[in-house]
Structure formats: structure tokens, C-alpha cells
Amino acid sequence: MDTVKKFSAVTVALHWLVALGILGLIAVGIYMVETESFHLYHIHKSFGLLVFAVILVRLTWRWRNGLPQPVRAMSKVEHHTAVAAHLVLLILTVVLPITGMIYSGASGNGFGIFSFEIFPSRYANGQAIPFSQQWSDLGQAAHGLLGYLLLILIALHAAAALKHHLLDKDGTLLRMLGRRVD
Ligand code: HEM
Ligand code: HEM
């Protein structure tokens, strides 16, 4: 379990595993859409679903542990901002892959983890036949918008972590790197 002075190895491992996974998925997602690299779509979906599984484990872990307590005395505003930012990050990491599944499922492209099919595709003459055009459009728009929103929030979140480390010189970042802070 986490304490104010030290985070458990599970918290640290889950944070960095999900952080790396999400950053990789955002980079590949934007690249494949911009360059129309359709061969990357299945890889993005497969890893997206694997990372989604880790995200669900992380959410359960957070539920049991509560959100991190500040390493030092902080103003109410600063603490509440951190809690709100962490909650939004947690919620977005769950909602984003779900919108990807809604789009892929409803558009008739299907999804699965590598050769393991989870939701079937529906093709005719090499074209995907949507199960629902409405849900497909909604899922696609939400996945794109929320993906960019998450990227902005991550940049702010990483900047806040660096501010703690470099300007405030407190143990916030070191604690998430597994170090004991006194
Ligand atoms: C890329 C560089 C990143 C850095 C430097 C970083 C740093 C940190 C630090 C220092 C904390 C602890 C804050 C505290 O003690 O109050 C933290 C917590 C957190 N971070 Fe990050 N983070 C990064 C990426 C991400 C990403 C990509 C996500 C997910 C979208 C994320 C989601 C969270 C969440 C939800 C928490 C709350 C604690 C928890 O659930 O484990 N972080 N991060
Ligand atoms: C946390 C996990 C995920 C992240 C961070 C993520 C992120 C992204 C991003 C940033 C894009 C580019 C959006 C754009 O430029 O419009 C994208 C595209 C896409 N993602 Fe994900 N994704 C994740 C999971 C998934 C999952 C689980 C699926 C489906 C099973 C999926 C299916 C897609 C598809 C089909 C596209 C192409 C959308 C288009 O052509 O407009 N993603 N993803």
C-alpha cells in the first residue's frame, strides 16, 4: 500500500507502464491517421486493448489506495487542482479506448488482440459495412478529440511534475520514481 513517504512498487510500475503505453498509442494513432498507414491500425488496436486491461487494473488499485497524498503541506487550491487533474487523467484513460472500440466495432472494421478476434469485422468487396453509421461517426469524433485533449493534459501534468522537482524542489517526482522521500 502507498504511504506519504513511499509509493508501493505496484503504484510506480502501473503508472509508468500506462504512461509509456498511452504516449506510444497517441504517437502511433496520430501518425497512422495523418499518413493513412492503414497497416498500423490493427497494431494500434491490439496494443490499445492490452493497455486498456492494465488501465482497468490500475483503476482498481487506485480505488483501493485512494489518490496520492501531497509530499509536503500544500495550499488547498494546489491540492484540489492535483486531485482534479488526476481524476480527469484516470477517467480519460478509461473512456478513450472505449471510444476506439465503439468506432472500430460500429464501423464494421472490428477489433481484437492480434489474431484473437473480440468484435467481428463486416466487409463486402473490400469495404467495411457499418453496423451503425451514427455510432461509428460519434466514436471516431470522440476518439480523435479526446486523444488530443489527453495529450494536452499529459503535457501539463508532466510540466507540473517537473515544476515540483526543479522549482519547488520537493519529492513529488522522486516518489513516483519509487524513491522514499523524507
Ligand atoms: C510523461 C511523463 C509523466 C510524468 C513525469 C508523470 C509524473 C507523475 C508524478 C510525479 C505523479 C505523482 C503526483 C503526486 O504525488 O501527487 C503522477 C501521478 C499520476 N499520473 Fe503521471 N506522469 C507522466 C505521465 C502520465 C501519463 C501519460 C498518465 C496517464 C494518462 C499519467 C497519469 C497519472 C495519474 C492518474 C496520477 C495519479 C496517481 C496514480 O494514479 O498513480 N501520468 N505522475
Ligand atoms: C488508451 C488507449 C488509446 C489511445 C491513447 C489512443 C489514441 C489514439 C489517437 C491519438 C488517435 C489519432 C486520432 C486522430 O488523429 O484523429 C487514434 C486513432 C485510432 N484509434 Fe486509438 N487509442 C487508444 C486505444 C484504441 C483502441 C482500444 C481502439 C480500438 C479497439 C482504437 C482504435 C483507433 C482507430 C480505429 C483509430 C483511427 C481513427 C481514424 O481513422 O479517425 N484505439 N487513437
- 50 lies in some domain: yes
Average predicted confidence (pLDDT) for the chain: 96
Shortest-distance Cα residue to atom 13 of ligand 2:
144
- Ligand 1 contact, 44 CB (< 6 A): no
Ligand 2 surroundings by CB, under 6 angstroms: 22, 25-26, 29-30, 33, 41, 44-45, 48-49, 51-52, 93, 96-97, 100-101, 103-104, 111, 140, 143-144, 147
53 closest CA partner among 21, 9, 12, 16: 21
Mean pLDDT of 46-69: 95
- 52 lies in some domain: yes
Q: What is the CATH number of the domain that holds 33?
A: 1.20.950
pLDDT at position 36 is 98
- 98 lies in some domain: yes
pLDDT at position 75 is 92
How far apart CA 29 and CA 97 sit, in angstroms, is: 12
pLDDT at position 67 is 87
How far apart CA 14 and CA 20 sit, in angstroms, is: 10
Domain count, the chain: 1
pLDDT at position 66 is 86
How far apart CA 60 and CA 76 sit, in angstroms, is: 26
- 54 lies in some domain: yes
User: Containing domain of residue 91, as a range?
Assistant: 9-72+79-112+130-176
* pLDDT single digits (tens) 66-116: 888 899 888 999 999 999 999 999 999 999 999 999 999 999 999 999 999
- 151 lies in some domain: yes
69 closest CA partner among 88, 55, 83, 85: 83
